[in-house]
Structure 1
Amino acid sequence: MMDQAERVIGRSPQELLVDGGYFADSVIDDSLNRDVSLLCPESGKPGKPKKNQKFHKGSFRYETEADAYICPAGQKLTLIYRPRNPDHPKAQWTYGGAACGDCPLRSRCTKSKDGRKIRRFAIDTVKDELRRVMEHPAAKKAYRKRQGMVEPVFSYLRTVQGLNRFRRRWLML
């Protein structure tokens, strides 16, 4: 997508405003490598589980200083597994060990008798930073402009043109 933008405008874009479907490792890495400012909200509402679903990883707050996660009930999940090769792109750290046995939120969190476990990847640090950027009022204001530019086009296609089943995913230009 950024290559196509470069061909169209004749230079590398300075800022990328994309929807939550692009909150992925590859997009974040590519924008960092190209030194492009990225504004992308996390898809869905990670802090709020859907009905009859378990808490999403985004519901747990990561504390860098303590190297631990804090669950929605306030329990601390500490590091229980460290990868042998932390520089590997798929390396993962596992956190757990919280006192889940008598927790009132246990049924909404885990079914495991050992309690909830959270896996953390190297890219999660960058994703946490992007979440923090998206909470800033200036970022929210800039992202609202994107909605005003893009969404009316889809609305026009749906209502006036009758393209109610218009599929944009995997469309190659």
Structure 2
Amino acid sequence: HIFGVIAYRRYHPTRGLFPKWKFHYDIEKDRYICPNKQTLTYSTTDRKGYRSYKSNPEICSSCPLLENCTKSKNHQKVITRHVWEDYKEKIRRNRLSVSGKTLYKKRKEKIERSFADSKQLHGLRYCRLRGKRNVSEQVL
């Protein structure tokens, strides 16, 4: 029962190509649907937890939206989705809600302020040594 609100990174898609949010994810069938109503089916999961969804290159080669979709030479679009993406979307919705926006504003007063104090007042702007163990000794 924790209401999570986490900072976000701005997503910078490749110019001229459709961003990932233009592709609809079908939860029931575990697939993506492109703007031209073609499916991208599940292919594999890598070691970092990203699931790959690939289009059919035979269908994509004759698609009128191909130039806006992919630059690959084999005419295949690949989209990756993390195995925890459902939870990430839930946190994203929390951040955009009214109570999430109120809570996110307090971040600069609580968390960011303590980091700023550590850097400015306690000499933690730069570390003299490398590695987790050595940095821990410097902090202590």
Q: TM bucket by the smaller chain?
A: 0.5 to 0.7
Please state if 1:125 is matched with 2:89. Answer: no
Identity of aligned residues (%): 21
TM-score normalised to structure 1 length? 0.48
1:95–1:117 CA contact under 8 A, matched in 2: yes
Write the distance in 2 (CA, Å) between the matches of 1:80 and 1:70. 9
TM-score normalised to structure 2 length? 0.56
- Aligned mate of 1:45, from 5, 10, 30: 10
Which residue is equivalent to 1:116? 77
Please state if 1:62 is matched with 2:28. Answer: no
SS class of match (2:106):
helix
Deviations 1:56-107 (A, max 9, x none): 6567553435644355xx3446242366xx9xx958352434747543524x
Please state if 1:143 is matched with 2:104. Answer: yes
State the AA in 1 paired with 2:105: R
SS class of match (1:105):
helix
- Aligned mate of 2:55, from 84, 93, 96: 96
State the AA in 2 paired with 1:49: P
Q: Give the CA RMSD over aligned residues.
A: 4.3
Displacement after TM superposition at 1:145 (Å): 0.3
2:55–2:78 CA contact under 8 A, matched in 1: yes
Unaligned runs of 5+ in 2: none
2:6–2:95 CA contact under 8 A, matched in 1: yes
Write the distance in 1 (CA, Å) between the matches of 2:24 and 2:101. 21
Which protein shows a greater Rg? Answer: 2
Deviations 1:15-37 (A, max 9, x none): xxxxxxxxxxxxxxxxxxxx544
Unaligned runs of 5+ in 1: 1-34
1:61–1:70 CA contact under 8 A, matched in 2: yes
